[in-house]
Structures are given as structure tokens and as C-alpha cells.
Structure 1
Amino acid sequence: MMSIQVQPLPSINIPNGGLNMQVLRRQPQKEKVLVVMGATGTGKSRLSIDIATRFPAEIINSDKIQVYEGLDIATNKITEEEQCGIPHHLLGIIQDPASDFTAPAFCNMASLSTRSIVGRGQLPIIVGGSNSYIEALVDDENHEFRSRYECCFLWVDVSLPELHSFVSNRVNRMVAAGMVEEVRNMFDPDADHSRGIRRAIGVPELDRYFKMEPSLDKESRSRLLQEVIDEIKDNTFKLACRQLGKIHRLRNVKGWKLHRLNATEVFRKSGREADEAWEREVAGPSSKIVRRFLYSRGAPDQVYRNARAAAAAMGAAVAAASH
């Protein structure tokens, strides 16, 4: 019997000594998951809604404080009106304010939600500021999430000076909306601020004010309240800086491919101009990224096409050698 040795062809990828037929088996396509990241106040929730109104999607909250029921103002929880009818998961579902919602608990619940959303043919959008929880989910010890899902990461970024100003103004709006009375309604002088929803910025600071309030005159109370509000602003900005540091670590140390969307120009404008800048700088580019992510062929398809072409070339070479 004639022995035929097929050499690697320059235009296709065939291993030396012949083609490994295993590559002809089409690899299963991974399901798609979108992750929206960014420091507090940068517009993550807004972007997730924009995307979910343009693509069939549902949203999974990854903020470890917004997962609790209550303190909607203090935790800056997205309102029902702002949700625009998009299903939200893990948002305000923990009723016990003192329970400890851990990273493993989040990973378990987020994984279940992701499977459920994918099963309905929808795109899961994971969005929130708890980057350590997102990291625990995506880079789990057994690599189960990465083996099951292909992830696309969007990072909404804003320059720190602009973000500092925005955070300060947002806290003022939260106070005007009733944050002080909201926190007062759950005030407990013996509460543990290291667990549960009472870890939320604004609760420990205001609790200190509530404890001292009865012993102060009107002027002193007003002065102390302003000091507490300023402290809330400072602590919120410090949180934003820590979140930004974690994002840089995920990109620069762990090698996550993050699509950075610079929203700074949006924060420098107001009204219609701000909306136009948002569409131009953030929402529009994000939609293009997501469209390519969802509808372009992935690496497994390319491997299959390459293998099929290689098999055809091998068949041609065998046919030519046999004549």
C-alpha cells in the first residue's frame, strides 16, 4: 500500500505528520455575558439600561449593598421608572438588614440568574460597583464561569476631578430627596456597621449624628449634620478611587480586556448637550462593541472553518497523489 506523507501547507494550518481529526469536531459555542464596570456615579446603570433597550437582555445587579431591601435613596438604587421595564435580578432581594451577603453567596445566585437568563435567549448584563464580587464570579477557582461563558467587559470611566464634583452634588440631591430621614427610620444605637446594609456609606456617618442629636442645640445640630454630609461625600469619593484601583488591577495585572468608554465630556455638560455627549461617547460606541460581541463569529467557529479547509486540502492532496 502506498504511504502518503502530507506536509503542512503554507496557507492553512495542518500539524506536521498530518491533520489531527479532533479539530474537525466543532467546539460548542460559549454563551455570551456582558459586564458593565466603573466607579460609583459614572453611569453604569444608565448604560446597562441603554444596552438592554437595544438588545434582548436582562440585568443582574452586582452591587453588594443594593442587593438589600430598603435604603433606596442612601444606596442610590435604580428606581422602577428608571428600569424601563427591563427585568432586574439580585436587586433589593435580601430582607434581613443584618445578614451578611458574601462573595460566595453572590456567585451562587448570580450564576443561577445567568443560566436562567441565557435559557430564555436573553443576554445577561452584570452591572455594579462591587468589583471584587465580579472578579470572584468570573475568575472562580474551577474556571467554570469562563469555560461556560464568553465575557465582554465595558468600563465607564470619568476623570477624577469631574467625578469628585458629581459625587458631591449627588449626595446633596440624596439629602434633598430624604436620605437623612430614610436612614433615621432604621437607626439602631447598638447596630453592627460591619455587616449587612448598615455598611452602606451614609449609615455609620448619620448614626453618629443621631446619637449626638438629642444633646445638641439647633445650631450645633445643623453644624454637625453638615460635617456628616461632608464626610459622606469624602467617603463616597474614596470608594470611587478604590473601585477605580481595582479596575486598573483587573486590566493591568490580571489581563482582563476592558473596553474603556470615557464619559468625562458628559459630566462637563448639562441638559441636551450632556445627552448628546452620552450617546456619542458612551452609548453609541458601546452598542457597536456589543453588536460585534454578539453577532460576529468567535474563535471556535474560526477553528472549525480552518480545520474544514485543511481537511479539504488534505483530500485534494491525497486524490492528486493517488493518480
Structure 2
Amino acid sequence: MIVSLSLCKQTMSLLDIPSGVLKSNFFRPRLEKEKVVILMGATGTGKSRLSIDLATRLPAEIINSDKIQVHAGLDIATNKIPEEERCRLPHHMLGVISPYTDFTATDFVDMASHAMDSILSRSQVPIIAGGSNSYIEALVDDEDFRFRSRYECCFLCVDVAMPVLHQYVSERVDKMVEMGMVDEVRSFFDANANYAVGIRKAIGVPEFDRYFRAEPYLDKQQRGKLLQEAIQEIKRNTCKLACRQLEKIHRLRNKKNWKIHMVDATEVFRRRGKDADEAWEKLVSGPSTEIVAEFLYNFSPQTLVTKPNLRVPSLPCGIML
């Protein structure tokens, strides 16, 4: 993988404050509205990694807003963050719904609202992270204006230039195949299944349908060819999803005037190993921590150590695969 997942490391501090002090009572928010952090971005840009970085530096818990990852099962195909990489941080709404049950925007709003109440009751900050922007929009811009009347939001979007992200997505799919995605999805295969319901809507499931149906009747060479066609289709569909997600974020910024901080992670994805980790801290995790700290604790921009690495991505994005 391009980006190393050394997620539990805390390598920066704000204002030369000792590590962990941001979790102390001294820095509790004091405004009337409750504070919520919402992390957005296209698939594969590092939203889960950033949510853990923030939650290890601030008094926070994480709420999943990916409408597919809310289902139990298919952990590889749905790219759920592994348990060992969650740094023992509470993750809400991750792998908790039956894989055969549909999960609507209304369901998300109800569950996320309860999760936020629970987190806030412990004097923690809810960090909502995921790629289902329509569900986030349903939560934030509800018809009765209840959310906006109660909560103040800090929106962060991890942005990666599309050609670079497309290459990363291709490599990530190959890695998922190496990890056993084909056998994992095969265990869910049902010739009579409805791919419009539950976890079977996930990219990486319907693409294998033709392969699994034909597999018993093909020789090794034919199976290999059909398998590669399915994998390439997964890559194409994932890149199309990334473009749709970015387009929705642009609509929320430009049409609905959401104030979304765009943090450019492109250079991170061009690097490998330690260089990628250092770039992540410098260009993404550090600036994002500063933005959120200013939002929560009213730090003025002049007191922050570095400036955010901001970029407004261009549209439209082309499908490269």
C-alpha cells in the first residue's frame, strides 16, 4: 500500500503543549452549541486514518458514516479498518447491522443522533467519518433544522488529485484480492440474491457474480481471465464512486455553502513508507489537528504552529481505468 497505516503514532503537538494535554478539562469547549467534527472525502483518501489521528489527540470518539461499512461482514471487501488499527478507540456504527438488512438515510440519522448523544454525555467530541455524503447531508440539513440548531460543525475533506487516487485505488484492490477478498465474497454468494439490498450493494460484490456462476464450468485459464475482468470492473467502479463523492462535496460547498476545509493529501500518495508517513503528518494530520483545535478551543490562526495545506480540487474528474 502507498500509505503506511502507523495510525496510533502521535508525532505532533500544538503550541508545544505536552502530549495528551488536549484531553484535559482545561481545553473543554465553552460555546453553547455542541461541537461535531465531520470528515469527508472520496474513497481511499484516508478518512479513517485521519479520524484516528484526531481521536488520539483530542477527547473524541468516532462515528462511521459509510452506509456499507455499517453492515457486519465482508470486512475486506468493504475495507473496514481492522480492529488492531483502531488504537482501542470507540468506533460507533461500524459492522453492527445485519448484512441482509437495508440501511437507509433515515436509519443513519436516527443511529448517528443516538451515538452523538452518547458520546457527548461522556464529554467527548463526536467525529463522524465516512464517504456516504448523502447520508451526512440528511443528518446535517434535516427539514426541521434541528441539527444545525443544536450543533456547530467543523467539516474537513481529505482531497487527493484524481489521477493519483485512481492509481492508489487500483493498487488497493489488488491488495484486497491478496488478502482473500475473492473467497470472502464467495462465502456471501447466492445465485438468487438481490444486489440492491444490504451489504451486497457494496462495490466488490456484484462484480463477482458472473465469475462465481461460471466458475465450476471453466478451466483454469478461463477462470483466470474471468476473474481478472471482475477485478478490473471493481477498480473502474471504485474510481467512478470516488468521482461521484467528490462531485457531491463540491455541490455541498458551492450550492449549499457548507464551509468545508479541503486538505490536500496528494503528495502523501506519491510517496512510500516513512516518507509517506512524514508527509501525512506534515500535510494532513498536523494541519487537520490545528483546524479542529481552533474550532473546539477557539485558538486564533496566529497562534497555530503551521498553516493548513489547502487546495480546491478541479472538476470534472476523469475515469482513468
**What TM-score range do you get, normalising by the shorter chain?**
0.7 to 0.9
User: How big is the shift at 1:215?
Assistant: 1.8
| Structure-2 residue corresponding to 1:262 | 264
* Structure with max Cα Rg: 1
Give the match for residue 162 of structure 1. 164
Give matches, 1:1-323, under 5 Å.
29-95=32-98, 97-296=99-298
Shift of 1:98: 2.0
Measure how far apart 1:212 and its partner are. 1.1
The whole-number CA distance in structure 2 between the counterparts of 1:139 and 1:115 is 18
Give TM-score, length-normalised by structure 1: 0.82
Distance in 2 of aligned mates of 1:120 and 1:113: 11
Distance 2:139 2:231 in 1: 34
Unmatched segments (≥5 aa) in structure 2: 1-29, 301-321
* C-alpha deviation, 1:115, in angstroms: 0.9
Q: After the TM superposition, list the runs of 4 or more consecutive aligned residues in structure 1 that deviate by more than 6 angstroms.
A: none
Structure with bigger helix share is 1
In structure 2, C-alpha distance between the alignment counterparts of 1:36 and 1:132, rounded to whole Å: 13
Give the Cα–Cα distance (whole angstroms) in 2 for the partners of residues 31 and 297 of structure 1.
17
Cα deviation per residue 1:268-295 (whole Å; 9 max; x = unaligned)?
1111111111011000101110110011
Tell me how large the CA RMSD over aligned residues is: 1.3
Q: Distance in 2 between matches of 1:207 and 1:125?
A: 36
Q: Name the aligned partner's letter for residue 172 of structure 2.
A: R
Once the two structures are superposed, residues 11-41 of structure 1 have per-residue CA deviations (whole angstroms, 9 ceiling, x without a partner) of: xxxxxxxxxxxxxxxx971010000000000
CA shift digits 1:46-103 (9 cap, x unpaired) = 00000000001000000000000000000000111111011000000012x2211000
Q: Deviations over 1:155-192 (max 9, x none)?
A: 00000010000000000000000000000011100000
Unaligned runs of 5+ in 1: 1-26, 299-323
Question: How many equivalent residue pairs?
Answer: 271
Cα shift at 1:218: 1.2
8 Å contact kept, 2:293–2:299: no
Q: Deviation at 1:214?
A: 1.4
Give 3-state SS (helix, strand or coil) of 2:84's partner: coil
Amino acid at match of 1:63: D
**SS at 1:225's partner residue?**
helix
Secondary structure of the equivalent of 1:35?
A: strand
Structure 1 SS opposite 2:144 = coil
Shift of 1:297: 8.1
Distance of 1:68 and 1:274 partners within structure 2: 31
Over the matched positions of the two proteins, sequence identity in percent amounts to 67
